[in-house]
């Protein structure tokens, strides 16, 4: 599919319609209502952004309906426990800001204050890096940067707490410095300061491989944080610089035939490795948004569009049920039974149509379409 053909299709609306259709088919007890969690939170955010961009109230109400099933009148959050100190539990809270902006209801602000209180008291490494969870002592994972840092940055802006923007910047810069491989420029999935974990190198504390979705979480975190930084913030330029450097490393491992990225990024051609959907969508989202906001140079445009077209040509399909997305890694982590080896990463289940892939697919489509619209307008108004 050519770039011209790609631009003529509103994939974002088709993806959002498919998600809404699936939700309606499941009825009032759909799985996304079971607990406060990061994957449904990302799906709700993607649908809300689709609602705003496409002027479609049905998509916005999807997010509000799910959020309202959790947020009490006093701002309490059903199924959430601050004392878990789990960064994953912050992600769904990103939806609170739009709800508060639209309604000015105090309960949404109180819920945001509760989540911010967790981050202010989050256990930390000796350099102030957030532990991924209380049960993962002295461990920083790339995943956690997406879960918490954009929330913290937006909270700092909305509630006029500039020191929390400084904190978000510190987290982004610290984990990049600790996990970056100087040879490839890619970031390792996790780092254990204590060097005690089975998956951690005894000398560096680093995990062994570059997992696609982990790096995807990080690049999405950067572009979503930077939106909230004033241009005068002393760390803004450095963050943009390391982001562009990382995107350059990603283009070096992009599959030239399909435009996609592998589950284990630097192991193309190794037995069992495969072109994976969620990470590919995350990279396209982050690059498209960064191109639109000029965090990236225009030279990255070709690689971004090649990635998007690769998703549409090789991973997505349509039928009477709607849009489907294939080759989505079900999940991966680092623990006693998840040792971070190559064999581990390729052993996790590979699924179709699950929210872990559909949410970044929708986010990517929305950002690519926004960037395409900007290219058509010689005087963009952002």
When pLDDT is averaged across residues 320-345 and rounded to a whole number, the result is 96
Q: What is the mean pLDDT of the chain?
A: 95
Long-range contacts of 116-120 (CB under 8 A, 24+ apart): 116/151, 116/152, 116/155, 116/159, 116/161, 116/164, 117/82, 118/82, 118/85, 118/89, 118/90, 119/90, 119/148, 119/151, 119/152, 119/164, 119/167
**Binning pLDDT at 50, 70 and 90, where does residue 17 land?**
very high
Residue 269 confidence (pLDDT) above 90? yes
The CATH number for 161's domain is 1.50.10.10
Q: Dihedral (C-alpha) 364, 273, 173, 305: value to the nearest 10 degrees?
A: -30
Q: How far is the C-alpha of 65 from the C-alpha of 44, rounded, in Å? A: 10
Q: Whole-prediction pTM value?
A: 0.96
Establish if 382 belongs to a structural domain. Answer: no
When pLDDT is averaged across residues 20-32 and rounded to a whole number, the result is 69
143 is catalytic: yes
**Binning pLDDT at 50, 70 and 90, where does residue 234 land?**
very high
Establish if 379 belongs to a structural domain. Answer: no
Residue 26 confidence (pLDDT) above 80? no
Establish if 60 belongs to a structural domain. Answer: yes
Establish if 195 belongs to a structural domain. Answer: yes
* Whether the Cβ atoms of residue 278 and residue 213 lie closer than 8 Å to each other: yes
What's phi and psi for 180, nearest 5 deg?
-75, 135
Residue 33: per-residue pLDDT: 64
Domain that holds residue 273: 3-374
When pLDDT is averaged across residues 76-99 and rounded to a whole number, the result is 98
**Binning pLDDT at 50, 70 and 90, where does residue 377 land?**
confident
Tell the burial category of 156 from Cβ atoms under 10 Å away from its Cβ (0-12, 13-18, 19+): buried
Establish if 13 belongs to a structural domain. Answer: yes
Catalytic residue among 88, 143, 192, 224: 143
Number of structural domains the chain divides into: 1
Establish if 18 belongs to a structural domain. Answer: yes
Establish if 256 belongs to a structural domain. Answer: yes
Please give the radius of gyration of the chain, using alpha carbons only, rounded to the nearest integer: 20
When pLDDT is averaged across residues 105-118 and rounded to a whole number, the result is 98
Share of residues in the chain with pLDDT > 70 (%)? 95
Alpha helix segments (H runs only) across the chain: 3-7, 11-26, 38-53, 57-68, 96-103, 106-120, 142-158, 162-179, 212-226, 236-252, 277-292, 301-314, 342-347, 355-376
DSSP 323: E
**Binning pLDDT at 50, 70 and 90, where does residue 237 land?**
very high
**Binning pLDDT at 50, 70 and 90, where does residue 1 land?**
very low
Residue 29 confidence (pLDDT) above 60? no
What are the pLDDT digits (tens) for 177-220?
999 999 999 999 999 999 999 999 999 999 999 999 999 999 99
Q: How far is the C-alpha of 168 from the C-alpha of 87, rounded, in Å? A: 13
CB atoms within 10 A of CB 270: 11
What are the pLDDT digits (tens) for 115-169?
999 999 999 999 999 999 999 999 999 999 999 999 999 999 999 999 999 999 9
What's phi and psi for 262, nearest 5 deg?
-80, 155
Establish if 380 belongs to a structural domain. Answer: no
**CA-CA distances (angstroms) from residue 189 to 114, 179, 328?**
28, 7, 18
């Amino acid at each position: 599919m050519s770039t011209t053909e790609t631009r003529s299709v509103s994939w974002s609306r088709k993806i959002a319609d498919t998600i809404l259709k699936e939700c309606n088919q499941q009825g009032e007890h759909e799985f996304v209502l079971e607990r406060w969690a990061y994957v449904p939170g990302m799906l709700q955010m993607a649908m809300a952004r689709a609602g705003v961009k496409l002027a479609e109230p049905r998509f916005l109400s999807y997010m509000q309906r799910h959020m309202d099933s959790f947020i009490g009148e006093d701002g309490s959050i059903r199924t959430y426990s601050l004392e878990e100190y789990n960064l994953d539990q912050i992600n769904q809270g990103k939806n609170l800001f739009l709800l508060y902006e639209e309604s000015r209801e105090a309960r949404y602000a109180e819920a945001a204050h509760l989540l911010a209180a967790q981050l202010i008291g989050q256990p930390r490494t000796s350099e102030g890096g957030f532990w991924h969870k209380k049960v993962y002592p002295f461990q920083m994972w790339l995943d956690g940067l997406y879960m918490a840092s954009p929330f913290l940055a937006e909270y700092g802006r909305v509630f006029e707490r500039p020191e929390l923007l400084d904190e978000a910047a510190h987290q982004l810069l610290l984990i990049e410095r600790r996990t970056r491989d100087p040879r490839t420029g890619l970031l390792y999935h996790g780092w254990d300061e204590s060097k005690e974990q089975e998956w951690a190198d005894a000398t560096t504390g680093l995990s062994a491989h570059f997992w696609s979705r982990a790096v995807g979480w990080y690049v999405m975190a950067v572009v979503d944080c930077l939106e909230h930084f004033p241009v005068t913030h002393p760390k803004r330029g450095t963050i943009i610089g390391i982001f562009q450097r990382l995107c350059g490393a990603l283009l070096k491992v992009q599959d030239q035939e399909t435009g996609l990225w592998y589950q284990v990024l630097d192991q193309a051609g190794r037995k069992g490795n495969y072109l994976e959907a969620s990470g590919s969508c995350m990279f396209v989202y982050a690059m498209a948004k960064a191109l639109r906001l000029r965090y990236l140079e225009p030279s990255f445009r070709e690689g971004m569009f090649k990635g998007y077209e690769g998703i549409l040509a090789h991973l997505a399909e349509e039928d009477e049920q709607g849009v489907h997305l294939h080759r989505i890694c079900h999940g991966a982590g680092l623990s006693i039974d998840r040792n971070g080896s190559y064999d581990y990463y390729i052993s996790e289940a590979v699924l179709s149509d699950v929210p872990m892939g559909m949410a970044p697919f929708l986010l990517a489509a929305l950002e690519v379409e926004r960037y395409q619209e900007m290219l058509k307008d010689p005087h963009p108004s952002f």
